[in-house]
């Protein structure tokens, strides 16, 4: 038996589909895939519609602001107080952009 066949059989066994007919296994697998895809789509849409920027977006924005200014160019060498100020400015800027984007879409 090929390695791929073994992997498929192992996946069926893990999913508890070893005793179903091929048709039943197909329906159960299809339904599980559909549910997972729907959950992912809802999660993505929720994230895209959110006006609140994520911590990662805030830090990326803050680093972009920081790197565009004269002086120290290494983010990791900046004091924690200075980082917090950049992060605060980035959060406010992203929230304003998201608000404008939402208003334009309305």
pLDDT single digits (tens) 48-102: 666 678 888 888 888 888 887 777 778 888 889 989 998 999 988 888 887 787 7
**Whether 99 contacts 51, CB under 8 Å:** yes
pLDDT classification of 106: cutoffs 50, 70, 90: low
Report the C-alpha gap between 64 and 72 in whole angstroms: 13
- Is the pTM higher than 0.95? no
105/42: higher pLDDT: 42
Can you give the chain as a three-state secondary structure string? CCHHHHHHHHHHHHCCCCCCCHHHHHHHHHHHHHHHHHHHHHHHHHHHHCCCCCHHHHHHHHHHHHHCCCCCCCHHHCCHHHHHHHHHHHHHHHHHHHHHHHHHHC
pLDDT classification of 29: cutoffs 50, 70, 90: confident
**Confidence (pLDDT) at 84:** 92
């Amino acid at each position: 038996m090929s390695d791929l066949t073994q992997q498929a059989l192992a996946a069926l066994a893990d999913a508890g589909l070893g005793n179903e007919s091929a048709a039943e296994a197909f329906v159960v697998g299809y339904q599980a895939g559909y549910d997972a895809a729907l959950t992912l789509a809802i999660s993505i849409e929720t994230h895209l519609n959110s006006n609140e920027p994520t911590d990662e977006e805030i830090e990326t924005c803050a680093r972009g602001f920081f790197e565009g200014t004269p002086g120290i160019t290494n983010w990791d060498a900046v004091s924690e107080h200075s980082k917090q100020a950049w992060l605060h400015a980035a959060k406010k800027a992203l929230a304003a952009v998201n608000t404008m984007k939402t208003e334009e879409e309305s």
